[in-house]
C-alpha cells in the first residue's frame, strides 16, 4: 500500500511516500481503507521527534493521526462496525499512520461517519473535535453562562472549539487576526482580540476556562485572565505530572514533567487558578456524540486545503506555516 512515513526524526526532508505492508488486525481491530486523512500540528511534533520520550514509536513510522474511510475487514470480536461501513476516527495513540491506503485500529476508537459529510470533511474532524470535547466537556465541565477564552480561533482546534463552546451556552472570546475576525464570529465568537495589535491579558478578565493552543508567553498571560478557581488547559504547553500519571509514563518522566511545569504551576497557585496539560485520547463513543452534532449542523467542519498523498510534504509545510484557516486534509 502507499504510505507517507519516516525512518528517522527530522524536518520535512525525512518524509517519504512509498510502499509499505498493509497492517494486520487483531480480534478487536478494524481494517479501514483510508479515503482522507487530517493534517494536525501533532504530525509535525511527531515528525520532529519532540514527543519521542512520551511516544516511543518504531521506524518506519507512518504519519497521520485521524482519518475517514471504509471498513474492509473486522476482527472476530468486533461488534460495533461491519464491512462496508463508512467510519472516522482518531488513530490509536501507539498505532498512528493514517497517511496511508489502509489503517488498523481498535473497534472502540471508531465511529460511524456523519452521513451528511464528505470523506474530506469527516477526516478533518476526529482529532480537533475530540480535543474540543474532552477539554470543554470532559475536563473543564463547562456550564452555560460561563466565560471561555479560546486561543487561535481560526485554526483547526479553535474553529471547532468555538462552535462547541457557543453550543454549550458560554460567552466565547478568541484571539485571531483582524482578517479572520468575521470568520471566527461566524463560528460563534462573542469577542475577538486581534493578537497582532492587542494584548488579550489587558482586555479580558474573570474567565472560567482558557483553551490554550499556543503555549509560551500566551500560556503565562492566560493565567492572569482567569477568575479564582479558573483553569487554563493547554495542548501546547509544558507536560505536567498528571499527564505522566494518565499515560503511565513512570516515575522518572513524572519527575521531569513536574520540573518542567514548576514555574507555570507556581504562578497558577499564586493566582488561585489551575494549569493542566492536555493530550487527547481516541474515543469512538465520544465521536458518536459529536456525530449527532455534526449531523444536526450544530457543528460544522472547516476545511482549508486538500492535498493528494503525493504532496504530503506540501501539506505539512502549509501546516507549519501557521496560515491554515481550519483544517488541512490529505486525500487518498
Task: Write down the pLDDT at residue 48.
Answer: 97
**CB–CB of 158/218 below 8 Å?**
no
Task: Write down the pLDDT at residue 241.
Answer: 77
Rounded Cα distance between 72 and 101, Å, is 11
Buried-state track 39-67, b at ≥16 Cβ within 10 A, e below 16: bbbbbbebbbeebeebbebeeebbbbbbb
| Direct distance between the N- and C-terminal alpha carbons of the chain, in angstroms, rounded to an integer | 11
Confidence bin at 248 (pLDDT 50/70/90): confident
* Residue 189: other Cβ atoms inside 10 A: 27
Task: Write down the pLDDT at residue 332.
Answer: 94
| Residue 138 DSSP code | I
Using DSSP's 3-state secondary structure scheme, residue 22 falls into: coil
**CATH number, span 2-124+301-331:** 3.90.180.10
Rounded Cα distance between 313 and 4, Å, is 9
Confidence bin at 72 (pLDDT 50/70/90): very high
If you average pLDDT over residues 28-54, what whole number do you get? 95
pLDDT-wise least confident of 102-106, 214-218, 289-293, 321-325: 321-325
Q: What Cα–Cα distance (Å) separates residue 193 from each residue in 29, 148, 178, 199, 277?
A: 45, 13, 8, 8, 24
The yes-or-no verdict on residue 82 having pLDDT over 80 is yes
The CATH superfamily label for domain 128-277 reads NAD(P)-binding Rossmann-like Domain (3.40.50.720)
Rounded Cα distance between 47 and 9, Å, is 6
**Residue keyed to cell 505536567:** 240
Task: Write down the pLDDT at residue 237.
Answer: 84
The yes-or-no verdict on residue 245 having pLDDT over 90 is no
Confidence bin at 120 (pLDDT 50/70/90): very high
Task: Write down the pLDDT at residue 247.
Answer: 73
Please spell the DSSP secondary structure of 51-119, one letter per residue: TTTTS---SSEE--SEEEEEEEEE-TT--S--TT-EEEEEPBTTB---SBSEEEEEGGGEEEPPTTS-H
Q: Which three cell numbers stand for residue 137?
A: 466537556
% of residues, the chain, pLDDT over 70: 100
Rounded Cα distance between 192 and 118, Å, is 30
| Spans of all domains in the chain | 2-124+301-331, 128-277
| Torsion angles phi and psi, residue 67, rounded to 5 | -170, 170
pLDDT-wise least confident of 103-107, 236-240, 273-277, 304-308: 236-240
Amino acid at each position: 500500500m502507499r504510505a507517507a512515513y519516516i525512518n528517522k526524526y527530522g524536518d520535512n526532508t525525512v518524509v517519504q511516500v512509498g510502499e509499505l505492508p498493509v497492517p494486520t488486525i487483531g480480534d478487536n481491530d478494524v481494517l479501514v481503507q483510508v479515503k482522507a486523512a487530517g493534517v494536525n500540528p501533532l504530525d509535525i511534533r511527531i515528525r520532529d521527534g519532540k514527543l519521542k520520550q512520551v511516544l516511543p514509536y518504531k521506524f518506519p513510522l507512518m504519519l497521520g493521526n485521524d482519518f475517514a474511510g471504509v471498513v474492509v475487514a473486522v476482527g472476530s470480536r468486533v461488534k460495533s462496525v461491519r464491512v462496508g461501513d463508512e467510519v472516522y476516527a482518531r488513530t490509536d495513540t501507539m498505532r498512528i499512520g493514517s497517511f496511508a491506503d489502509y489503517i488498523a485500529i481498535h473497534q472502540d476508537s471508531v465511529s460511524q461517519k456523519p452521513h451528511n459529510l464528505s470523506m474530506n470533511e469527516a477526516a478533518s474532524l476526529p482529532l480537533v473535535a475530540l480535543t474540543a470535547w474532552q477539554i470543554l466537556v470532559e475536563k473543564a465541565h463547562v456550564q452555560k453562562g460561563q466565560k471561555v477564552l479560546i486561543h487561535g480561533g481560526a485554526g483547526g482546534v479553535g474553529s471547532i472549539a468555538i462552535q462547541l463552546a457557543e453550543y454549550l451556552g458560554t460567552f466565547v472570546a478568541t484571539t485571531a487576526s483582524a482578517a479572520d475576525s468575521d470568520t471566527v464570529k461566524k463560528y460563534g465568537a462573542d469577542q475577538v482580540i486581534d493578537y497582532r495589535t492587542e494584548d488579550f491579558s489587558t482586555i479580558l478578565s474573570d474567565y472560567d476556562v482558557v483553551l490554550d493552543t499556543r503555549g509560551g508567553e500566551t500560556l503565562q498571560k492566560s493565567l492572569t485572565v482567569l477568575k479564582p478557581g479558573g483553569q487554563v488547559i493547554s495542548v501546547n504547553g509544558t507536560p505536567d505530572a498528571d499527564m505522566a500519571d494518565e499515560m503511565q509514563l513512570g516515575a522518572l518522566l513524572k519527575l521531569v514533567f513536574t520540573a518542567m511545569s514548576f514555574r507555570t504551576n507556581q504562578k497558577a497557585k499564586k493566582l488561585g487558578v489551575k494549569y493542566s496539560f492536555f493530550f487527547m485520547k481516541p474515543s469512538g463513543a465520544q465521536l458518536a456524540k459529536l456525530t449527532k452534532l455534526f449531523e444536526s449542523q450544530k457543528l460544522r467542519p472547516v476545511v482549508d486545503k486538500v492535498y493528494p498523498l503525493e504532496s504530503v510534504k506540501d501539506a505539512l509545510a502549509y501546516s507549519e506555516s501557521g496560515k491554515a484557516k481550519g483544517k488541512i486534509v490529505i486525500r487518498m
